[in-house]
């Protein structure tokens, strides 16, 4: 067992878990990782997760007791406030508030992405695709010259969007979406994040295989598009 004081309760595919894992890696903080099966949630997990969701961060305190944090944004903010390493939020309050807004925008994209990847017919699939094109268009208008969301410094906004782009790394091997075709800044940002070590380490090596199994289990139209 590790002597790490932080344990990240995870699921192999959860993008919200990945946010926290990326933040931990960017901070250079040692931590343990424990995966749970969300289709058969163990009692110990349900007893400490008020929403029955991941991620959870278990914080071992100096007196030996453990505190449990839930919700990815809360976890990331806690890490930013308490851990050493590079700052992942801007120092300026107004810029920091805007970053938090774009983190929420990323969460809204994840909601649409769920509909896109689980769509069972062509009409629903195309409707969700168009929503994603529009939302990424808004992101394109916000981006500067990069390489990251706000320029040279990696931030929590980058940690939010990296797991979103990872979905498309798998989807594009099945059928091209065309979502990013007219978005050069988003494409460059996506490539930069994919090459980031913290992003690569946020998932297990079998992530792509697990995501394909997920699509099969949900009878995803995306797979039929490729047929």
Element (H, E) at 35: strand 32-35
Residues 12, 125: Cα–Cα separation, whole Å: 24
Q: Which of 6, 8, 9, 14 is catalytic?
A: 14
Residues 209, 66: Cα–Cα separation, whole Å: 34
CB count within 10 Å of CB 84 equals 7
Closest CA to 58 of 28, 31, 80, 40: 31
Point out which residues pair with 66 in neighbouring strands. Answer: 60
Question: Who contacts 151 (Cβ-Cβ below 8 Å, separation ≥6)?
Answer: 144, 145
Look up 14 and say whether it is catalytic. Answer: yes
* β-strands 66-70, 32-35 pairing: unpaired
Name the DSSP letter for residue 120: -
List active site positions: 14
């Amino acid at each position: 067992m590790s002597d790490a004081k932080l344990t990240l309760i995870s699921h192999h595919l959860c993008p919200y878990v990945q946010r926290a894992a990326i933040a931990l890696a960017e901070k250079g903080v040692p931590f343990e990782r424990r995966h749970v099966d969300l289709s058969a949630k163990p009692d110990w997990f349900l007893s400490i997760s008020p929403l029955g969701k991941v991620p959870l961060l278990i914080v071992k305190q100096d007196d030996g007791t453990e505190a449990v944090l839930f919700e990815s944004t809360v976890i990331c903010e806690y890490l930013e406030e308490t851990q050493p390493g590079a700052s992942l939020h801007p120092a300026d309050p107004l810029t920091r508030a805007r970053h938090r807004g774009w983190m929420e925008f990323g969460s809204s994209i994840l909601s649409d992405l769920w509909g896109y990847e689980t769509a069972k017919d062509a009409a629903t699939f195309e409707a969700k695709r168009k929503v994603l094109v529009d939302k990424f268009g808004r992101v394109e208008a916000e981006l500067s010259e990069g390489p990251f969301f706000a320029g040279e410094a990696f931030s929590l906004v980058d940690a939010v969007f990296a797991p979103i782009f990872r979905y498309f790394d798998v989807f594009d091997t099945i059928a091209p979406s065309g979502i990013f075709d007219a978005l050069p800044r988003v494409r460059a940002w996506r490539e930069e994040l994919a090459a980031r070590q913290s992003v690569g380490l946020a998932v297990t090596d079998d992530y792509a295989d697990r995501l394909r199994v997920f699509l099969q289990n949900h009878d995803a139209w995306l797979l039929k598009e490729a047929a």
